[in-house]
Amino acid sequence: MQTFFSEDHRLHFPQAELSGGEFVTPYERPSRVECILHRLRECGFPGVTDPGPVDMGPVARLLDAGFLSFLETAYADWKAEGYGGEVITTAMPTRHQRMDRIPRCIDGRVGYYCHASETAITGGTWAAAQSSMASAQAALRAVAWGARAAFALCRPPGHHATRDQFGGYCFLNNAAVVADMFVAQGAKRVAILDIDFHHGNGTQQIFYGRGDVLFASLHGDPMDMYPYYAGFADETGAAAGEGTNLNYPLPPGTPYGPWSEALDHAIARIRAWGAEALVVSLGVDAYKDDPISFFKLDSPDFTDCGRRIGRMGLPTVFCMEGGYAIEQVGVNTVNVLEGFENA
C-alpha cells in the first residue's frame, strides 16, 4: 500500500491549545506523523511519496468560497489588525444571534468561521492544510488508477471541518473531498467509514442532504464527548440523504467487543447499500491510553479492525485523522493498514 505524505505538515504547529482551562502543547502535533512514518518503515511498507501540489478545484466545488478565502488570509489579516500570537477565536455566534452577517473585524470573522476554540491558525496553517489535502488527492488518484488501497498521511486532519467552519484541529475536510472526487469520476455510491474516536461532524454536515455518499461513524457518545452537538443515533440524513447517515455513539469505557459489533453493523449497511468505493477516516484515538478519549481498544484490536474493513473488498482510501497517544499512534495506525492488507 502506497503512502502519500508532505513535509509541509510541519508548517502548522500551534504553540498552545486551550484544554481543561489551561494552555497546553497541542495534542495534535508534528511528532504524531514521525511516529507513524517510523512504524511504516519498521514494518516494511513501501516508501513514502510526496503528493505534489494540491488541486483546489475539487475543494472549491465542495466547500464554501468565503470560508476558503478566510483560511487563506486569516493569519495575515490577524497581524494586519495588530493582534499578536496565533489566531484563536474569542467569540462565536450562538443561538438567537445572527449568522447572516460576516464581521469586518478579523476577531469576529475568526469566530464566524470557527466552531471550537482549541484550534489555532498559524502563519503556516494554510500551506499545511493544502498539503494535507494534496496527500488525500494523491491517494485517491492511486486508487482510481488501479491500486486496491492507498494511505494519505494527512496532517492536519480533516473530519471536523464542515463546509464553512474549522475546529477540532481540522481546516479542510480531506475525506469529504476524496469521496466527492470519487463521485465526480463516476462512482454512483461512495461510503465514508469514520473510526476516529470523535464524531466526524464536518463530514456529516457536508453530506447530510446527499444520497450518493453514505457516512458511518463510530464514536464517543456526544452527551459525554466533543463535538457534543452532533453524532446522535437519530441523525439519519435529510432529503435525498435520508438513511445515508449512520451514527454509532458508544458510552465511556467501551471495549473492543461492543465496538467491533458496531463496526460490523456499519460494514453490513455499507455492503447492503452497494458502495462502489470506500474512504476511511482513520483515527486511532479509540486506543485505551489516548489522552482525550474514553474507549478501551488495545493495539491488536486495530489489526482486527483493518482486517474487517479489508474483507469488504472495496477500492479504499485511508485518510489519517486523530490519535494522540504518541508512543502508540504509529503502531495502532499501521496495525489497521496491515490488517487490511492481510484480509
Burial annotation 308-331 (CB, 10 A radius, 16+ → b, else e): bbbebebbbbbbbbbbbbeebbbb
The three grid cell numbers given for residue 88, joined into one nine-digit string: 484563536
Q: How far apart are CA 200 and CA 299, in angstroms?
A: 22
User: 297 - beta bridge partners?
Assistant: 287
List the one residue out of 156, 157, 151 whose CA is nearest residue 200.
Answer: 157
Report strand pairing: 213-220 vs 245-250: parallel
d(CA 214, CA 189): 8
Rounded to whole angstroms, the Cα distance separating 159 from 215 reads 11
**Element at 23 (helix H, strand E):** strand 22-24
> Would you say 261 and 160 are in contact if contact means Cβ atoms under 8 Å apart?
no
Q: Output the nine-digit C-alpha cell for 122.
A: 498559524
Cell numbers standing for residue 279: 474512504
* Interatomic CA distance for residues 329 and 34, integer angstroms: 10
How far apart, in whole angstroms, are the C-alpha atoms of residue 3 and residue 15?
28
Query: Could you write out the DSSP letters of every residue in 166-195?
Result: BBTTBSS-HHHHHHHHHHHTT-S-EEEEE-
Cα-Cα-Cα-Cα dihedral sign, residues 295, 299, 301, 307: positive
Rounded distance between C-alpha atoms, residue 199 and residue 222, angstroms: 8
Residues designated catalytic: 160
> For residues 91 and 239, what is the distance between their CA atoms, to the nearest angstrom?
32
